[in-house]
Structure 1
Amino acid sequence: MGYVTRRVRKNDRIRYTAIYLDIKGKARSAGTFDSEREAEKAWQRAESKVAEGRVTSTKHGRQRFAEYALDTWLDNHVMEESTRQNVSYVINAHLVPEFGRMRMNEILPQHIQSWVRDCEKEGLAASSIHRMTTILSAVFASAMVNQVTFINPCKGVTLPTIGKRKFDILTPEQFSDFLNEIEGERFKLMVELDIESGLRWGELSELRLKDLDRDTGILTVSRSMVELRRKDHPTEDRFLVKDYTKNGNFRRFKLTRSLVRKILAFAMANGIRENDLLFNFPEQLPESPVPGVPDRADLGLTAPNDKGRRYRHGTTTAYTNGKCRCEYCRAAFAHYRATRRAEGKDNPRKRRSVHTDGHIPANWFRKNIWHPARERAGLPKTMTPHQLRHAHASWLLAGGADLAVVRDRLGHASVTTTELYLHTLPEADDTALEALVNIRERGGRKQSNVS
């Protein structure tokens, strides 16, 4: 129970301090007043708030944003490890530099709005600003629950408009050209399975032979893999296998018999057992291969350098002295350097190796398999591996598949997401145009009959 203490100042003026007990039973001041009656009311108000479970001390709100966001919120907030990695980056790279030294109870909506405007001026995408603000709002929502602050300064802040995303769908003709450019049976089959199943990368790279029913051709997707930085991995590893997919549910769907036969033949030829990864990382060569010497016939001379000298294309002197960076000169210099390294000259370093537990790293696949094939097929840079999932959905819907069936194959939580893939192929409007032409021709026929 609270009480009042009487204080006499140097000028003999009497003041009364209201004392109450906080939720831990510790005596705290509720303020100093001129009358004992005011002090009595003050400690009673304070203790009524304590009885309601409210913290009346402002000490919590005096902690700095960086301290609360990193040491309290991030360390204790429950989230996926891959999400934690991304959130940690946003907080350290964007939020702490702006709000880190500010006290939690001093951050107001005007500070958030000013930061949003600065992000726009820096050229950050609207979607990135929304994502960062969502994380910032989550920090303050937690602070309100823990009574560190009593407002969420993100509420009411105006954010930039996110434009509707445009889908550039891979056509069947483009995919056929692209598939022909994929090098290696393993990766060709991997891409073919992805276009027929619409699997996410983490699901595709974690597939094992036991997930495929040989008799029915039904594929069960019940696990996924995520790549993490070592410091964000629970055991400081790189790959984390989760016993569930993105939405926490498993799904089952059929593959064509021709694809099932290809998968089984590939598994048998490579000695893949039931629990083995269907697509494991290929064995790495101990030494880098020495590139071949480019054909120098009729390549001509380089442009004059700063001294007016010209050199024959496809030579090391054209690369070093002529500063030419054409494919022939770069190939000649690469051959020269690789030959010297192979002979142990120039203090050669060992070939960089990819650290993996058997899973194929997404970045390695994009750099060494996907992008070279995409360039040879003449596809734009926007065509990423995830586009195969978009193409799978669009092809099914364009072919007349039921919307709910496509949703279940893709593992979407809502059919609204699946609807985004309706009418995304270039020929999707052909039916509408045909109907328009028919109506217009009917009007033309009527006019000719009148005349």
Structure 2
Amino acid sequence: MGYVRTRLRKDGSPRYTAYFWDVRGRERSAGTFATRKEAVRAWRRAEAGAGEGRFADLRSGRQPFARYVSLVWLANHRMEANTRQGYISVIEKYLLPEFGAIRMIEILPSHVRDFLRRLTDAGKSAMMVQRCKTVLSSIFTTALNDQVIALHPCRGVAVPPVVAKPLTIVSPAEFEAIVEALPDEQSRLLAETALEGGLRWGELTELRLGDLDPVTRMLTVARTVVELRPGYHPSGARFLVKGYPKSREFRRIKLSSTLVARIRAYAAERGLGSDDLLFTAPQSRRPTERRLLELPDPAGATAPNAAGRRYRHGTLSGYSMGRCRCSWCRAAYARYRAVRRAAGKDQPRAGRRLDTDGHIPRDWFRQRIWDPAVQAAGIGRRVRVRDLRHAHASWLLAGGADLQTVRERLGHAGLRATERYLHTLPDADDTALTAFHRTRAGIRILRDVGTSATVK
């Protein structure tokens, strides 16, 4: 049974605070009102809601959004380390500037709707707008379940649709050209394994020699590795190995005898043990040797600098004082630095060490190994390492493999994710077009036969 307590303001006017007891026997406040009648209604509603498990703790709901997220939600919400890193990035960049100072119970669907609309008007992609809503909805779902709030502000709020772009699959000829352009045996073997196994990058770079059974040719995908910023790693490192793949269940993939033989020869040449990484990053990076350009004598002068002065092209003054970055001025400065290094006057930069424990950094491989090979292969579009996984699925389905087999090899949770690879090759619809024209031709034949019979 609840009750009402009268409070007096400084000017002597009364205010009425409603109190009730929750299911645990704790005294709770249902709010303060201008009249006793409103207060009585409030504690009766709160008492009924507490009995049904629908009571929201008003004291918790009065805390600012920033305090709840940092001290309650992030501190107690369980999620993967890489997911936490991505969520915190969205929270700090978008959510805290917008909702940080607002009380939890004061955030309404209209506020969320207006926030997402302004993100769209600012040119943010539909994917980013949806991601902001996803993080925000996760926060408010926890707050609603913990009875911090009584209303879910994200419920019923729509976001711009994320349009799925059609997949452009790497053809066998394009893949062969890329492999030929890769600089060493490790990168070529890595690409072959990624294509034939349909592996994700984290699964591919965490493969160890013991994961492959050379007799049965079965490759067990049992782990994955993710790259993190040091603040999000339990020990401050960069790479975090998880003892399960993304699907959270092991899967086994059979490889061809040719690929298995290449892997075994590669491992024997490097002396790899069963626990050693199959693909590793180099321990150091050599400084880039710039080729000095042989250019004709320059003509003319640089554009005026801030002081209005102009300098001749191809001189140190043109590069340093004129701030000119044309080919002649850059070549002059490069020759000057090369001469000084040859004379021992400047210390050349030593090779930098990669921040790695042996795992291959994704960006380093893309920028230094993969993208140059794609460009050298003459492919006129962007091709990612991840596209080899798409090619694996598409080639299997085009060759007659059933959806369930492809799903199991890729580690998809359901067939819907696998179905997107149907009819992705350029010639995948040839069979459908042939059937269409065959049917159309048959209708024409029947029509012509019917016309001839009518004439007779």
TM-score range, shorter chain: 0.7 to 0.9
Q: Which residue of 2 aligns with 1:288?
A: 287
Q: Which residue of 2 aligns with 1:62?
A: 62
- Asked whether the 8 Å contact 1:6–1:15 carries over to 2, the reply is yes
User: Where does 1:163-178 land on structure 2 (aligned, <5 Å)?
Assistant: 163-178=163-178
Q: Which residue of 2 aligns with 1:360?
A: 360
- Asked whether the 8 Å contact 1:206–1:277 carries over to 2, the reply is yes
CA distance in 2, matches of 1:34, 1:111: 30
User: Where does 1:31-430 land on structure 2 (aligned, <5 Å)?
Assistant: 31=32, 46-47=46-47, 49-53=49-53, 55=55, 57-285=57-285, 287-288=286-287, 290-294=289-293, 296=294, 300=296, 304-306=300-302, 323=324, 325=326, 337=337, 340=340, 345=345, 350-380=350-380, 382-430=382-430
Deviation, structure 1 residue 368:
0.6
Seq. identity, %:
45
Task: Single out whichever of 396-405 and 374-383 deviates more from structure 2.
Answer: 374-383
Deviation, structure 1 residue 218:
0.9
CA distance in 2, matches of 1:408, 1:334: 55
Amino acid at match of 1:377: A
- Asked whether the 8 Å contact 1:31–1:39 carries over to 2, the reply is yes
Deviation, structure 1 residue 280:
1.1
Q: For the structure 1 residues 191 and 8, does the alpha-carbon distance in structure 2 shift closer, same or farther, using more than 3 Å as the test?
A: closer
Amino acid at match of 1:290: E
Amino acid at match of 1:91: I
CA distance in 2, matches of 1:329, 1:2: 85
Amino acid at match of 2:276: D
- Asked whether the 8 Å contact 2:203–2:221 carries over to 1, the reply is yes
**1:327-350 CA distance string (max 9 Å, x none):** x98677557546646766456654
CA distance in 2, matches of 1:425, 1:417: 17
- Asked whether the 8 Å contact 1:305–1:323 carries over to 2, the reply is no
**1:393-440 CA distance string (max 9 Å, x none):** 001111111111111111111111111001101111222233334445
Q: For the structure 1 residues 40 and 92, does the alpha-carbon distance in structure 2 shift closer, same or farther, using more than 3 Å as the test?
A: closer
CA distance in 2, matches of 1:243, 1:368: 29
Amino acid at match of 2:287: S
Deviation, structure 1 residue 164:
2.6
CA distance in 2, matches of 1:7, 1:401: 76
Deviation, structure 1 residue 111:
1.1
CA distance in 1, matches of 2:437, 2:35: 89
Amino acid at match of 1:72: V
Amino acid at match of 1:106: E
CA distance in 2, matches of 1:444, 1:6: 91
Q: For the structure 1 residues 140 and 18, does the alpha-carbon distance in structure 2 shift closer, same or farther, using more than 3 Å as the test?
A: closer
- Asked whether the 8 Å contact 2:130–2:159 carries over to 1, the reply is yes
**1:365-403 CA distance string (max 9 Å, x none):** 111101111111122453111101001100111111111
Deviation, structure 1 residue 207:
0.2
Which segments of 5 or more consecutive residues in structure 1 lack a partner in the other structure?
none
Amino acid at match of 1:141: T
- Asked whether the 8 Å contact 1:302–1:318 carries over to 2, the reply is no
CA distance in 2, matches of 1:378, 1:39: 76
CA distance in 2, matches of 1:271, 1:13: 87
CA distance in 2, matches of 1:240, 1:98: 32
Give the secondary structure class of the aligned counterpart of 1:427. coil
Task: Single out whichever of 127-136 and 263-272 deviates more from structure 2.
Answer: 127-136
Which segments of 5 or more consecutive residues in structure 2 lack a partner in the other structure?
304-309
CA distance in 2, matches of 1:132, 1:143: 17
CA distance in 2, matches of 1:119, 1:11: 46
Q: For the structure 1 residues 75 and 4, does the alpha-carbon distance in structure 2 shift closer, same or farther, using more than 3 Å as the test?
A: closer
CA distance in 2, matches of 1:276, 1:402: 34
Amino acid at match of 1:360: I
Amino acid at match of 1:143: A
Amino acid at match of 2:111: H
Amino acid at match of 1:288: P
- Asked whether the 8 Å contact 2:302–2:312 carries over to 1, the reply is no
- Asked whether the 8 Å contact 2:284–2:352 carries over to 1, the reply is no
- Asked whether the 8 Å contact 2:55–2:150 carries over to 1, the reply is no
Q: For the structure 1 residues 29 and 79, does the alpha-carbon distance in structure 2 shift closer, same or farther, using more than 3 Å as the test?
A: closer
TM-score, normalization by structure 2: 0.85
Deviation, structure 1 residue 138:
1.0
Amino acid at match of 2:417: T
Deviation, structure 1 residue 60:
1.6
Root-mean-square deviation (CA, aligned residues, Å) is 3.6
CA distance in 2, matches of 1:144, 1:70: 17
CA distance in 1, matches of 2:11, 2:167: 78
CA distance in 2, matches of 1:370, 1:12: 77
Q: For the structure 1 residues 70 and 280, does the alpha-carbon distance in structure 2 shift closer, same or farther, using more than 3 Å as the test?
A: same
Q: Which residue of 1 aligns with 2:432?
A: 432
- Asked whether the 8 Å contact 2:57–2:149 carries over to 1, the reply is no
- Asked whether the 8 Å contact 2:298–2:313 carries over to 1, the reply is yes
Q: For the structure 1 residues 323 and 130, does the alpha-carbon distance in structure 2 shift closer, same or farther, using more than 3 Å as the test?
A: same
CA distance in 1, matches of 2:10, 2:216: 94
Amino acid at match of 2:200: R
CA distance in 2, matches of 1:347, 1:247: 50
Q: For the structure 1 residues 7 and 274, does the alpha-carbon distance in structure 2 shift closer, same or farther, using more than 3 Å as the test?
A: closer
TM-score, normalization by structure 1: 0.86
Task: Single out whichever of 347-356 and 25-34 deviates more from structure 2.
Answer: 25-34
Give the secondary structure class of the aligned counterpart of 1:67. helix
**1:184-219 CA distance string (max 9 Å, x none):** 111111011111111000000000000111111111
